[in-house]
């Protein structure tokens, strides 16, 4: 890492449609901030870039739902996130936004640069069009029945119930969320980025060149490359976004994932209008993206290809993506309000920023998904931050005030004539060796993005300090050898000072508190410590210390009980973001009796059932329909086992055109009720009826 002259560090641009929760923080912003603080302490030239991602259909959808213009909508969430980051102490050099003028220009230039090389593919295809509103419908504006799980509210790009990714044309009964009408297919032109043409280059650059990346990141990328890449459309028909900078592109905007990562560049431009280029084009600059695992593909495959295509840009040197954070054993969920919101945390537990940083780093999902629990939070704060770190600093302060009136005892050689002094000397040597070892391990871990380990080694300094005091027992020596006590406490203060330096990237508030207590900014020692990676001298003899203050307070049971309670009744405090998921689905357009009577609905009895081979969602059912039986495939394998299906009566559409799936023809469709949580339940008559009975 010494080969690089400067650093460009980015943290994923949060999407401006809701507040931030601890999952976001643990995934990207906290590790990035810790790393950046470390670099700054070393004296490196670093820019830490972030901002709100404010385009895309989800924004327009959200705005519509709140009854405001997209602009007002993103203003609100941008403000909310910016403030939460600031209040929490994430130290961006700039927190920008993709709706800025600079970004519009940058993204358009970027597009043009690739366009001028004739790299894009132009293609006209049929897309759904809402005739009443006169607009093309982006994937997410179309809702229909998911062909997989039967969810009647699946989006055109993905069914959020079963997670299947879809294309709008797969939806059954598509309807526009704008007008409620059935959309029609109409041709429209779009531009595609030829990812496939970068496949070989990516393999060389990434697979051959970056085996040093985290295994989860590397493995995921390799998996994608092995599956083969396809051109991706990078424009949309929308009125919110960055206009495609071409004469024949009225009503077209850049697709959000195309413009968002360029936001890193525009934000840098905004921050450094005159010399932004050296942070993006100089090979001696190290570019690092901090993201969550959901973003791996964009940052490791797509964005690098874009940068490569645009030419003369540097590429990410590392992308330390984290896995996900769970909460109390459950996935974080915005719609169920199962989350710890950052702004609420800061309100409910004021002055406890370090506590959240510490706990989130200690369980940082570096290699696998992690779980945040309030009990664990309490335990870690109380038994590690308070009992080990806070207590060590405090007892040193108290001892120095007690025996030396708050004046740093002078350091000097301790003549080691008697056994007692020899013992102190050897304990000092041992402590010093251990401390230096931990400092080295801490910095090594930081360089390799292992923040859990780094923080552990940081806390280890306090552990060693505690042991040093317990072993040397200055309070006993005070009765017989004050000179020795002075030496011991002088050294203990040195350790405290070094802890102030060491904990700065992890616990900035604690670091500040220790500096106040030492009555010194430790300015001169900072870069020394972080560059030499060993204990440094800091405290001057006869220097007057500040007053002792407690670093951290214990977390009481009542404090966390309140938080746990809140999570137990999640529906009460509705999530600040409305989603379609928690609403009862809107009615479909009205039909006439004739429409209904076209359906032949019948009841039959399942005579046999088996799991479809090579499918984990399909069951193959044999249904007695009173007419000799028929085979029906149904995507319910996640809800019913074959065994429990046998003998059950089911309601099915009897005159639906047969459809082949995975080589087998399905002769009908089983009707299911979908519960709020997405669970499917059979629709059955309350009593047994004879097979073939009709429903009307």
Q: Which of these ranges, 16-24, 59-67, 214-222, 570-578, lies near RNA under the rule CB under 7 A? A: 214-222
The answer to the question of residue 661 lying near RNA (CB under 7 A) is: yes
The answer to the question of residue 168 lying near RNA (CB under 7 A) is: no
172-201: which residues touch RNA (CB under 7 A)?
Answer: 172
Are residues 121 and 231 in contact, defined by beta-carbon separation less than 8 angstroms? yes
Q: Which of these ranges, 96-104, 201-209, 587-595, 630-638, lies near RNA under the rule CB under 7 A? A: 630-638
The answer to the question of residue 220 lying near RNA (CB under 7 A) is: yes
Q: Least separation, in Å, of the C-beta of 184 and RNA?
A: 17
Distances (CA, A) of 168 to 125, 254, 519: 13, 19, 65
* Site map 317..346 versus RNA, x via CB under 7 A: ------xx------x---------------
Q: Which of these ranges, 109-117, 248-256, 565-573, 631-639, lies near RNA under the rule CB under 7 A? A: 631-639
Sign, Cα dihedral of 598, 601, 602, 606:
positive
- At 579, give phi and psi (nearest 5°): -130, 165
- Selected binder of RNA within 399, 539, 603, 606 (CB under 7 A): 399
d(CA 164, CA 618): 14
- Selected binder of RNA within 69, 125, 181, 367 (CB under 7 A): 367
> Of 587 and 657, which has the nearer Cβ to RNA?
657
DSSP string for residues in 652-673: EESSSPPEEETTEEE-SEE-EE
Q: Quote the radius of gyration of the chain (alpha carbons, Å).
A: 31
- Selected binder of RNA within 334, 394, 520, 649 (CB under 7 A): 394
d(CA 108, CA 100): 12
Within 13 Å and on the Cβ side, how many CA atoms surround 418?
A: 4
> Of 287 and 680, which has the nearer Cβ to RNA?
680
52-111: which residues touch RNA (CB under 7 A)?
Answer: none
Q: Least separation, in Å, of the C-beta of 490 and RNA?
A: 15
Tokens (6 digits) for 352 = 């406890």
Rounded to 5 degrees, what angle do the CA atoms 517, 519, 522 make? 105
The answer to the question of residue 580 lying near RNA (CB under 7 A) is: no
423-462: which residues touch RNA (CB under 7 A)?
Answer: 452-453, 456
Q: Least separation, in Å, of the C-beta of 174 and RNA?
A: 10
For the chain, the residue count is 696
- Selected binder of RNA within 318, 379, 580, 608 (CB under 7 A): 379
Assign 3-class secondary structure to 264-284.
HHHHHHHHCCCCCCHHHHCCC
Are residues 106 and 269 in contact, defined by beta-carbon separation less than 8 angstroms? yes
* Site map 530..559 versus RNA, x via CB under 7 A: --------------------xxxxx-----
252-311: which residues touch RNA (CB under 7 A)?
Answer: 293-294
Q: Least separation, in Å, of the C-beta of 499 and RNA?
A: 13
- Selected binder of RNA within 22, 102, 149, 306 (CB under 7 A): 149
The answer to the question of residue 165 lying near RNA (CB under 7 A) is: yes
- Selected binder of RNA within 189, 200, 204, 475 (CB under 7 A): 475
Q: Least separation, in Å, of the C-beta of 470 and RNA?
A: 3
> Of 398 and 583, which has the nearer Cβ to RNA?
398
> Of 22 and 310, which has the nearer Cβ to RNA?
22
- At 123, give phi and psi (nearest 5°): -145, 140
Q: Which of these ranges, 175-183, 188-196, 374-382, 483-491, lies near RNA under the rule CB under 7 A? A: 374-382
| Distance from chain centroid for Cα 575 | 18
Query: Where is 154: in which H helix or E strand?
Result: strand 154-155
Tokens (6 digits) for 197 = 């043409």
Are residues 142 and 155 in contact, defined by beta-carbon separation less than 8 angstroms? yes
The answer to the question of residue 466 lying near RNA (CB under 7 A) is: yes
The answer to the question of residue 500 lying near RNA (CB under 7 A) is: no
> Of 171 and 271, which has the nearer Cβ to RNA?
171
Helices and strands of the chain, counted as H and E runs: 24, 27
> Of 333 and 608, which has the nearer Cβ to RNA?
333
Q: Which residues pair with 632 in a beta bridge?
A: 621
Q: Provide the H-helix boundaries in 228-313.
A: 256-271, 278-281, 296-297, 303-310
Q: Least separation, in Å, of the C-beta of 88 and RNA?
A: 21
- Selected binder of RNA within 635, 672, 680, 691 (CB under 7 A): 635
Query: Where is 76: in which H helix or E strand?
Result: helix 70-88
Q: Are strands 619-624 and 601-611 parallel, antiparallel or unpaired?
A: antiparallel
CA nearest to 355, candidates 509, 516, 550, 513: 509
Q: Which of these ranges, 110-118, 180-188, 201-209, 369-377, lies near RNA under the rule CB under 7 A? A: 369-377
- Selected binder of RNA within 46, 386, 575, 672 (CB under 7 A): 386
- Selected binder of RNA within 93, 164, 179, 579 (CB under 7 A): 164
Residue with the two structure tokens 């049929």: 126
Q: Least separation, in Å, of the C-beta of 276 and RNA?
A: 33
The answer to the question of residue 420 lying near RNA (CB under 7 A) is: no
Q: Which of these ranges, 110-118, 217-225, 251-259, 336-344, lies near RNA under the rule CB under 7 A? A: 217-225
d(CA 403, CA 493): 13
Burial class (CB in 10 A: 0-12, 13-18, 19+), 157: middle
- Selected binder of RNA within 1, 72, 184, 398 (CB under 7 A): 398
Count of residues touching RNA (by CB under 7 A): 84
- Give the 3-state secondary structure percentages of the chain, helix then strand then coil, rounded to 5: 45, 20, 35
| Distance from chain centroid for Cα 368 | 13
- Selected binder of RNA within 357, 395, 526, 639 (CB under 7 A): 395
Tokens (6 digits) for 594 = 């004739």
The answer to the question of residue 163 lying near RNA (CB under 7 A) is: yes
Tokens (6 digits) for 173 = 């009964």
> Of 47 and 484, which has the nearer Cβ to RNA?
484
- Selected binder of RNA within 47, 302, 309, 618 (CB under 7 A): 618
């Amino acid at each position: 890492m010494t080969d690089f002259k400067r650093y460009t560090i980015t943290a994923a641009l949060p999407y401006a449609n809701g507040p931030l929760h601890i999952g976001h923080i643990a995934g990207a912003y906290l590790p990035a901030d810790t790393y950046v603080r470390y670099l700054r302490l070393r004296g490196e030239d670093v820019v830490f870039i972030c901002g709100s991602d404010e385009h895309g259909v989800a924004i327009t959808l959200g705005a519509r739902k709140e009854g405001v213009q997209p602009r007002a909508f993103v203003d609100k969430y941008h403000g909310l996130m910016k403030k939460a980051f600031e209040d929490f102490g994430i130290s961006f050099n700039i927190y920008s936004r993709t709706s800025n003028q600079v970004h519009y220009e940058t993204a358009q230039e970027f597009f043009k640069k690739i366009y001028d090389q004739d790299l894009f593919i132009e293609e006209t295809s049929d897309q759904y069009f809402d005739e009443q509103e006169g607009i093309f419908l982006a994937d997410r504006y179309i809702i229909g029945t998911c062909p997989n799980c039967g969810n009647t509210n699946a989006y055109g790009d993905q069914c959020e119930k079963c997670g299947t990714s879809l294309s709008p044309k797969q939806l059954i009964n598509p309807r526009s969320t704008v007008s409620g009408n059935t959309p029609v297919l109409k041709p429209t032109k779009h531009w595609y980025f030829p990812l496939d043409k970068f496949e070989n280059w990516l393999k060389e650059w990434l697979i051959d060149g970056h085996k040093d990346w985290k295994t989860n990141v590397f493995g995921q990328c390799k998996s994608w490359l092995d599956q083969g890449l396809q051109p991706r459309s990078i424009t949309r028909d929308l009125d919110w976004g960055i206009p495609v900078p071409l004469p024949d592109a009225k009503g077209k905007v850049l697709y959000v994932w195309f413009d968002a990562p360029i936001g890193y560049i525009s934000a840098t431009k905004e921050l450094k209008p005159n010399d932004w280029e050296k942070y993006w084009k100089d090979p001696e600059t190290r570019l690092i993206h901090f993201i969550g695992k959901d973003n791996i593909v964009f940052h490791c495959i797509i964005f690098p290809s874009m940068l490569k295509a645009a030419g003369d840009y540097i590429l990410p040197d590392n992308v330390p993506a984290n896995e996900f954070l769970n909460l109390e054993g459950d996935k974080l969920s915005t719609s169920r309000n199962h989350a710890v919101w950052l702004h609420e945390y800061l309100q409910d537990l004021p002055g406890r920023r370090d506590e959240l940083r510490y706990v989130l780093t200690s369980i940082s999902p570096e290699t696998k998904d992690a779980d945040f629990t309030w009990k664990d939070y309490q335990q870690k704060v109380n038994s590690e931050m308070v009992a080990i770190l806070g207590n060590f600093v405090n007892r040193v302060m108290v001892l120095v005030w007690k025996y030396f009136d708050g004046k740093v005892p002078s350091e000097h050689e301790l003549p080691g004539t008697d056994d007692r002094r020899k013992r102190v000397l050897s304990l000092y040597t041992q402590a010093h060796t251990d401390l230096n070892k931990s400092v080295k391990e801490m910095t090594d871990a930081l360089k390799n993005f292992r923040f859990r380990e780094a923080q552990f080694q940081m806390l280890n300094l306090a552990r060693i300090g505690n042991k040093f005091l317990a072993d040397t027992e200055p309070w006993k020596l005070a009765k017989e050898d004050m000179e020795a006590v002075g030496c011991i406490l002088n050294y203990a203060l040195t350790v405290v000072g070094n802890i102030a330096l060491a904990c700065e990237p992890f616990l900035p508030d604690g670091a500040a508190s220790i500096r106040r207590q030492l009555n010194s900014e430790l300015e001169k020692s900072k870069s020394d410590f972080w560059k030499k990676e060993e204990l440094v001298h800091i405290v001057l003899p006869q220097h007057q210390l500040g007053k002792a203050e407690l670093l951290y307070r214990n977390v009481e049971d009542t404090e966390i009980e309140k938080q746990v309670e809140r999570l137990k009744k999640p529906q009460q405090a509705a999530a600040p973001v409305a989603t379609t998921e928690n609403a009862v689905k809107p009615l479909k357009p009205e039909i006439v009796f004739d429409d209904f009577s076209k359906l032949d609905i019948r009841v039959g009895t399942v005579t046999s059932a088996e799991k479809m081979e090579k499918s984990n969602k399909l069951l193959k059912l044999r249904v007695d329909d009173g007419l000799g039986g028929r085979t029906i495939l149904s995507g319910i394998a996640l809800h019913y086992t074959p065994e429990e299906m046998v003998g059950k009566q089911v309601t099915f559409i009897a005159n639906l055109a047969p459809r082949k799936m995975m080589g087998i023809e399905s002769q009908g469709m089983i009707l299911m009720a979908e519960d709020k949580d997405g669970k499917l339940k059979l629709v059955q008559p309350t009593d047994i009826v004879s097979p073939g009975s009709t429903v009307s």
